[in-house]
Structure 1
Amino acid sequence: MSVMRAFAKRTLAGLLLSSLWAMPARAAEPACDAPAEALEAAPMAGVFAALAHTDLRILVVGSASTQGGGTSGPAATWPLRLQAVLAEKVRPVAVQLEVFGARGTTAADHARILAEQGPRVRPHLIIWQLGTVEAARGLPVEEMAEAVQGAVERLRAIRGERTDVVLMDPQFSRFLRGNADVESYRDWLRVAAAASGAQLFSRWAIMRHWVETDRIDLERAPRARRVAVADELHDCLAHALAEFILDGAQRGRRHRR
């Protein structure tokens, strides 16, 4: 790379990062307003470093909501909406996102996927949606936590701080709350995140806020509007998650000073 090209690359990265850091702390769409504390992230060194270059690689693993979750199609799911939202916010950095998982998959299944795909993708960010299947089946919470900690430890041994990990807890559901001890799984996810150096994005808390403020309530949506409401829910989750990620990147910049 010539000296001029290297200089131009550094200048472009600097301008991009400066524009990101100048963004207001709350950048989500007003219609998708979420509690401020749910959108505050710890420093994300991997994302910060990626935004200083030309691409941001994201690996998503999870169960049903990553694949469709009642939406109108794959493009409406929160992972692909997240890719689109981030691509708009961090351009000219390219956002590459790959999704793995399926309905009914558990943390142990996801850990195997991460072991197989992590070395190939070399992600700057992993978003791991889990806990719903475990809670619905009443699987041992300790096994879920062990799967998380083991997977993150193996990843850290290979990637160090070049990969940030965000755990996403279950979506808020009155039915799940009434038929499973979901709080135990949420508690253990918090413990697993803290113990492994990962972060927790509380989808449960954000969705509960939308339900309690009569913003989005998928369970009580009329049948004729259920798909449209699911699309709206996934879009709002994508905006909230994008804000969480960019907050972490901004804090990652400060952390490295």
Structure 2
Amino acid sequence: MARLRDLLRPALVLAAILLPPGMARAEPAGCSAPPDAMEAAPLPGSVAALSRGALRVMVVGSASTQGGGTSGPAATWPERLEKVLGTRVAPATVQVSVFGGRGTTAADHARIIAEQAPRLRPHLIIWQLGTVEAARGLPPDEMVEAVQDSVAKLRASRGERTDVVLVDPQFSRFFRANADVETYRDRMRLAAAASGAQIFSRWTIMRHWAETERLDLERAPRAGRVAMADELHDCLARALTQFILQGTLRGPASAPRDRPPG
């Protein structure tokens, strides 16, 4: 009987993930995102890992991955992602490791990935970039080159066992007025298409929340900004969870056979 349970476990895990939409756990209404921003392509590495019962996620990025005005590390979207996604895919486990920091660029992140990915063997890399590049007016082609080179090296070493999702800048009216954000967002889309990575458009989702007056951090009263930042990060984690689960709906249920699992 124990042997049968072991054999059935991957199928049971995937069955829990692949619930019809009406049966899935409802998310807070205020965290709803535009449907076109939630359309994920297949995430074969993630679904294969979940079928085996454990998903390793590597988050790399700049300030918002480390705090970004929240009440503390536990309130950041990477920490919330580990909790929210872990709840949704139980009994599979989710481990999120976070790297980067304020002021780091795509080139910095590429070096971190090159150093840490062989050790961590992540099934999913969530790469937040573009904000520092746009704020400093750095050459967008350098960002594109960093992404394409990094993803190419990952594909060479891990094949389809590691998925890559790029996260674009957070929406800000001030940022939009003072930086050429759209150029960097366009170049990110180009880099994703050329490398086989995906885009999670944090900009689109946060703009929707701001324009519908659901979560508008720039216009929040000073006394309430930390609480709203916590709520914003929680909603981003929930939106990312939905995006990842959409990708697992479309990914194969078995690991690539050309390399050992891991």
Corresponding position of 1:218:
217
Distance 1:216 1:239, change over 3 A: same
1:12 to 2:14 alignment: no
Counterpart Cα distance in 2 of 1:10 and 1:223: 54
1:155 to 2:154 alignment: yes
Corresponding position of 1:36:
35
Corresponding position of 1:73:
72
Corresponding position of 1:236:
235
Corresponding position of 1:61:
60
Are the aligned partners of 2:51 and 2:254 in contact in 1 as well (CA < 8 Å)? Answer: no
Structure 2 matches for 1:132-147, cutoff 5 A?
132-147=131-146
The count of aligned residue pairs is: 253
Corresponding position of 2:260:
none
Are the aligned partners of 2:56 and 2:121 in contact in 1 as well (CA < 8 Å)? Answer: yes
How far 1:254 moved relative to its partner? 7.7
- Helix, strand or coil: the match of 2:154? helix
Are the aligned partners of 1:87 and 1:94 in contact in 2 as well (CA < 8 Å)? Answer: yes
Are the aligned partners of 2:62 and 2:100 in contact in 1 as well (CA < 8 Å)? Answer: yes
The percentage of counterpart residues that share the same residue type is 67
> Residues 199-240 of structure 1: CA distance to partner in whole angstroms, max 9, x if unpaired?
000000000000110100001111100000000000000000
Counterpart Cα distance in 2 of 1:175 and 1:216: 16
Corresponding position of 2:119:
120
Segments ≥4 residues shifted beyond 4 Å: none
Counterpart Cα distance in 2 of 1:146 and 1:10: 43
Corresponding position of 1:82:
81
Are the aligned partners of 2:14 and 2:51 in contact in 1 as well (CA < 8 Å)? Answer: yes
Distance 1:6 1:59, change over 3 A: farther
Are the aligned partners of 2:65 and 2:76 in contact in 1 as well (CA < 8 Å)? Answer: yes
Corresponding position of 1:22:
19
How far 1:18 moved relative to its partner? 1.2
Counterpart Cα distance in 1 of 2:124 and 2:176: 30
Corresponding position of 2:178:
179
> Residues 139-193 of structure 1: CA distance to partner in whole angstroms, max 9, x if unpaired?
0000000000000000110000000000000000011100000000000000000
- Helix, strand or coil: the match of 2:111? helix
Structure 2 matches for 1:239-254, cutoff 5 A?
239-253=238-252
TM-score calculated relative to the size of structure 1: 0.95
Distance 1:186 1:89, change over 3 A: same
Q: Which runs of 5+ in 2 are unaligned?
A: 256-262
Letter in 2 for 1:104: G
Q: Which runs of 5+ in 1 are unaligned?
A: none
Q: Please provide the CA RMSD for this pair.
A: 1.5
